[in-house]
Amino acid sequence: MSRLFLSPPDVGPRERELLLDAFDSNWIAPLGPHVDAFEREFADFVGVGHAAALSSGTAALHLALMLLGVGAGDDVLVPSLTFAATANAVTYVGARPVFVDSEWATWNLDPALVEEELAARFHEGREQPAAVIAVDLYGQCADYDPILKSCAAYGVPVIEDAAEALGATYHGRPAGSFGALNVFSFNGNKIITTSGGGMLAGDDPSPIERARHLSTQARDPAPHYEHSEIGFNYRMSNLLAALGRAQLEGLPAKVQRRREVNAAYRTAFTDRPDIGFLPNAPEGEPTNWLTVITLDDPTPVREHLASLDIEARPAWKPMHLQPVFADCPMRGGAVADEIFRRGLCLPSGSSMTDADVQRVVEAVRASLP
Ligand SMILES: Cc1ncc(COP(=O)(O)O)c(C=O)c1O
């Protein structure tokens, strides 16, 4: 039996066709017609005005922080329960992540703790954070109504890290349309992939235009190479944008399949009260990028699955428990701790067959008392 991966790429003939089109056109560069078209099609899909195609989601986070003027000495609120890239980007601009715990309803940034942190700073006369980054973990939107309300009240801009949530909605509105700037990833394990890539999106055209400038070495208009500020090599290549366009065409079907896989796991374990799930919150429709179960002790289950060539992975280790962020402040923490202790991500890819899901279900059952 072949190895079952957590979230492998799901590509087909359309990807091959557009990739070859890019290849044959000789636009083999970090610019070209597929880059322009991917940006336009992506912005339309997400319902934002503009998008800049970049080399990774991490690059998009870095530029988002720069474009909002976040810099040395600033604090940025970040959920502790996330992938390290969210917090790493804060340090790239010389700022400090201030971690906030999750809420049980979505496993995302707890809106009550965000309000608590901003109100405490206000009452103590301390400076507000330069930004709040909200992450849509495992394909589910954070609870944006209260988060945006608190941030607006204290004048703090929000960046949405929708790296895991392309295709999700919150009150009917697409993930990646809630922040002043919004970040997406097309890493190989994401819901759509360009092997590696990312997007920065927003309604205001000027930061997105500036992102294009900064991501191509900040070259000023001149016949020679003229630079008046520091730039980056962060632009997406035309070959990868071609791949991204084909993946975007297939996105609704991929989201649908991930939801079916999630529903199949839920149905299969209805008789097991010892198995919990990341809740599907009623405010929106998640993509179920990864199905995450909770168990008293996930380690023997993960090890048994590994022995059967089935990849499963612990939930994200919270940032406040990471040695590299040991000096950063943390508000709360019990929820993220427990999710890390009990969470296990199961194979969730959109190319999974019903038989694949059954294979995982049987393996999980066999490993439980
Ligand atoms: C929540 C989150 N933010 C940011 C990233 C970074 O994206 P990339 O790998 O494209 O740099 C990822 C995934 O890789 C992620 O899961």
Q: Say whether pLDDT at 231 is over 90.
A: yes
- Which residue's CA is the nearest one to ligand 1's atom 7? 57
The span from the CA of 99 to the CA of 81, in Å, is 9
Share of the chain above pLDDT 90, in %: 99
pLDDT at residue 249 in the model: 98
Q: Specify the ligand 1 atom closest to the Cα of 58.
A: 11
Q: In angstroms, what is the span from residue 294 Cα to ligand 1's centroid?
A: 23
Q: Specify the ligand 1 atom closest to the Cα of 198.
A: 10
Q: In angstroms, what is the span from residue 271 Cα to ligand 1's centroid?
A: 35
Q: In angstroms, what is the span from residue 163 Cα to ligand 1's centroid?
A: 5
Q: Say whether pLDDT at 369 is over 90.
A: no
pLDDT at residue 354 in the model: 98
Q: Please enumerate in sequence order all residues whose Cβ is within 8 A of that of 341, keeping only pairs 6 or more positions apart, or say none.
A: none
The token duo for 89 is: 């980007």
pLDDT tens track for 80-130: 999 999 999 999 999 999 999 999 999 999 999 999 999 999 999 999 999
Q: Say whether pLDDT at 1 is over 90.
A: no
Instruction: Answer for the pair 281, 105: CB distance below 8 angstroms, yes or no.
Output: yes
Q: In angstroms, what is the span from residue 83 Cα to ligand 1's centroid?
A: 7
Q: Specify the ligand 1 atom closest to the Cα of 136.
A: 1
Q: In angstroms, what is the span from residue 122 Cα to ligand 1's centroid?
A: 32
- Which residue's CA is the nearest one to ligand 1's atom 12? 163
The pLDDT confidence band at residue 13, using thresholds 50, 70 and 90, is very high
Mean pLDDT confidence for 335-355 = 98
Amino acid at 287: T
pLDDT at residue 346 in the model: 98
pLDDT at residue 232 in the model: 98
Q: In angstroms, what is the span from residue 138 Cα to ligand 1's centroid?
A: 11
Instruction: Answer for the pair 195, 188: CB distance below 8 angstroms, yes or no.
Output: yes
Mean pLDDT confidence for 27-37 = 95
Average pLDDT, whole number, for the chain?
Answer: 98
pLDDT tens track for 184-211: 999 999 999 999 999 999 999 999 999 9
Q: In angstroms, what is the span from residue 50 Cα to ligand 1's centroid?
A: 20
Mean pLDDT confidence for 32-42 = 98
pLDDT tens track for 295-341: 999 999 999 999 999 999 999 999 999 999 999 999 999 999 999 99
- Which residue's CA is the nearest one to ligand 1's atom 9? 187
Please, what is the angle between helix 111-124 and helix 144-153, to 10°? 10
Q: In angstroms, what is the span from residue 85 Cα to ligand 1's centroid?
A: 6
In the sheet with 276-277, reading across from the earlier edge strand, the strands are: 276-277, 291-294, 343-346, 313-314
Q: Specify the ligand 1 atom closest to the Cα of 135.
A: 1
Q: Specify the ligand 1 atom closest to the Cα of 60.
A: 11
Q: In angstroms, what is the span from residue 126 Cα to ligand 1's centroid?
A: 31
pLDDT at residue 209 in the model: 98
pLDDT at residue 352 in the model: 98
Ligand 1 residue neighbourhood (C-beta within 6 Å): 56-58, 82-83, 85-86, 135, 161, 163-164, 185, 187, 198
Q: Say whether pLDDT at 64 is over 90.
A: yes
- Best residue for ligand 1 mutational test, from 54, 56, 58, 345 (most atoms within 8 Å of Cβ): 58
Q: Specify the ligand 1 atom closest to the Cα of 197.
A: 10
